[in-house]
Amino acid sequence: MRATLEELAGRVGAKAIGPADLVITGVNTIDRAGEGEITFLTNPRYARFLPRTGASAIIVAPGKDTGDLPRLEADNPYLALAKIVAEYCAPPRPAPGVDEGSFVDPSAEVGEGVRVFPGVYVGPRARIGPETVLYPGVFIGEEASVGADCRLYPNVVVLSRCRLGDRVICQPGVVIGGDGFGFAPDGDKWFKILQLGVAEIGDDVELQANTCVDRAAMGATVIESGVKADNLVQLAHGVHVGRDTVIAALTGVAGSTTIGRHAVIAAQVGIAGHLHIGDGATLTARAAVMNDVDPGEVMYGVPARKRRETFRLYGALSRLPETDKKVRALERRVEELARRLSVLVDDEEGKDG
């Protein structure tokens, strides 16, 4: 990386404050950056490092005081950082070619500029789009399709007839098109239901390590364009995920559930089957979703509830020890009153006798 502060500002639509010809040669975190590097500050927890950072410049929101430290002011500092890293720090594209030690079926179609590393298998009638890179251990099944400029990292599996759009990134261990979890009860045994459908992945999707997208029993499991799924996410057969939704690690979505566009699903969320999650909904970490969720709703807890209801419940739980003491005291008081009343009744009955 080598660019001036002014050049960086122009690339990301930021305002440069400081020497325009200041040369930046790298990017680093605020606590580790050194001379020549640019850093960033978005989380106030890291503001304590600002006075002693070794960085030559910093990316901040407009109006943020950085003292004498040169800065780029951007409305979205994190996005500005991402664009700088993509522009100047991206690893070089592997040289095109099909390496020895790979297998590409003669009936497969391989576009221009494709790189196929050793250990790759491309099956009959499969299609690989231009400029795509298949790293060692990738498996592309019969009649599967991978779009242009995709990156499939080691040990990614795309099974038969499944389809990936353009610019898809699959991190190591992703499995697309494995059988859905479908079994019919047969007495005390389970009879496997053949999974006849496919999985379809849109453009600009990223699936991170060991995420699984099952094929549908019939029809298609659909991941629309722009979706980002973190490590160890399970998307079951027949699931439909809307455009630009993000799903954090260890989340599981059961079969035939539909998730709307621009939803945010935090880590370790469990979503039951045959539900509808509305556009723009947010499911917070470890939420257990058992019912449909309205568009834009924020859901918390186990089982998942709306924000206001959940906060009332948590407030009541926090007061539970004190409430328990009061209830026990009232029980003792009632028992004492009952004992006294019993004595009074006995005395009155004795007098009447």
Which residues form the catalytic set? 237
What is the SS3 assignment for 287? coil
Closest CA to 238 of 280, 208, 193: 193
Q: In 204-223, which positions are buried (b, 16+ CB within 10 angstroms) versus exposed (e)? A: bbbbbbbbbbbbbbeebbbb
* Distances 25 to 70, 96, 304 between C-alpha atoms, Å: 15, 29, 47
Residues 108 and 125: beta-carbon distance below 8 Å: yes
Residues 111 and 132: beta-carbon distance below 8 Å: yes
Closest CA to 84 of 143, 27, 159: 27
* CA gap 199, 163 in Å, rounded: 7
C-alpha gyration radius of the chain? 30
Residues 197 and 217: beta-carbon distance below 8 Å: yes
Closest CA to 199 of 229, 344, 280: 229
